[in-house]
């Protein structure tokens, strides 16, 4: 089985080769600027690793993996806009709207999302597209909660917000691969449960990094959520308790890993990377 770094190289190469629609014209520059300007590729690598754990070659799962990264990049481009999180820095470079202007950034995000579905609809089965659509709608619903709650969230509300905004796409990184492989429906629950728990772990760690990291480490402006009065795991529970919650989430993820009827070695490496990451 390939290591996470080897899978990341496959993703980067796949994204470089993507044939974007001719109709986009010079807008293609803005798409590639955000898509290829760095990024950890956690979602597509997780998708490829899931496919390999289920016995499939990465080339078969790569279109779904790239589609996930397109959707993720779309969400970042739009999230950085002044009307939402208003962030000038992303992946260590000026945000799309700072580089190209707000109008171009909006169109680039629209095109990234559309290209994602054009990719995933290339499979013979509609199931991968359904998984991606459900995750994207959940993510957008979570973003709506994020911009309308005005910091008025309790612990349960915070978990629900991030189950949608962050968790759905991470969960789909597993379930899209499961759909591509064609695993029978009655065998999919353990994989979905693993993906859901991993999404929660990712978000808690993200909130901790936002409170403790620097712009150079994160590639984005730290402390934005706290400055905007948004509820995070750190603002609600405190830093030490947030770290305890992250450790508990990692334990649950590892329990879900142990339930998977497959070689989960590479998936375990990804879990460790997510818990211990510094950016």
> d(Cα 140, Cα 194) in Å, to the nearest integer?
22
Beta bridge partners of 94: 89
User: Rounded to the nearest 5°, which phi and psi values hold at 57?
Assistant: -75, 145
- Per the prediction, the chain carries an average pLDDT of 91
CATH class entry, domain 4-276: mainly alpha
> d(Cα 201, Cα 246) in Å, to the nearest integer?
6
Give 89-126 pLDDT, tens digit per residue. Answer: 898 899 999 999 999 999 999 999 999 999 999 999 99
Give 17-49 pLDDT, tens digit per residue. Answer: 998 888 899 999 999 999 998 889 999 999 999
Of the chain, the percentage scoring pLDDT greater than 90 comes to 73
> d(Cα 85, Cα 193) in Å, to the nearest integer?
30
DSSP state of 260: S
- Give the pLDDT of residue 147: 86
Give 276 or 170, the one with higher predicted confidence.
170
> Looking at the whole model, is its pTM more than 0.95?
no
Of the chain, the percentage scoring pLDDT greater than 70 comes to 94
pLDDT greater than 90 at residue 131: yes
Give 188-233 pLDDT, tens digit per residue. Answer: 999 999 999 999 999 999 899 888 877 666 666 766 666 667 889 9
- Give the pLDDT of residue 52: 95
């Amino acid at each position: 089985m390939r290591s996470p770094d080897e899978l990341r190289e496959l993703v980067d190469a796949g994204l470089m080769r993507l044939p974007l629609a001719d109709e986009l014209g010079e807008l293609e520059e803005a798409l590639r600027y955000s898509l290829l300007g760095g990024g950890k590729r956690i979602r597509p690598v997780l998708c490829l690793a899931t496919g390999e754990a289920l016995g499939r070659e990465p080339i078969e799962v790569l279109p779904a993996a790239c589609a996930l990264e397109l959707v993720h990049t779309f969400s970042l481009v739009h999230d950085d806009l002044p009307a939402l999180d208003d962030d000038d820095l992303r992946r260590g470079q000026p945000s799309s709207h700072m580089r190209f202007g707000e109008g171009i950034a909006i169109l680039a995000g629209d095109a990234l999302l559309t290209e994602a579905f054009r990719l995933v609809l290339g499979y013979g089965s509609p199931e991968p597209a359904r998984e991606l659509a459900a995750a994207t709608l959940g993510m957008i619903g979570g973003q709506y909660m994020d911009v309308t709650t005005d910091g008025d969230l309790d612990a349960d509300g915070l978990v629900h917000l991030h189950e949608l905004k962050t968790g759905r796409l991470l969960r789909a990184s597993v379930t899209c691969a499961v759909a591509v492989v064609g695993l029978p429906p009655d065998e999919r629950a353990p994989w979905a449960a693993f993906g859901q728990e991993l999404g929660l772990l990712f978000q808690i760690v993200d909130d901790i990094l936002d409170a403790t990291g620097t712009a150079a480490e994160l590639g984005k402006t730290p402390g934005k959520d706290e400055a905007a009065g948004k509820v995070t795991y750190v603002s609600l529970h405190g830093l030490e308790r947030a770290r305890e919650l992250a450790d508990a989430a990692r334990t649950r993820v590892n329990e879900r890993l142990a339930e998977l009827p497959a070689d989960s070695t590479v998936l375990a490496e990804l879990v460790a990377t997510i818990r211990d990451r510094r950016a």
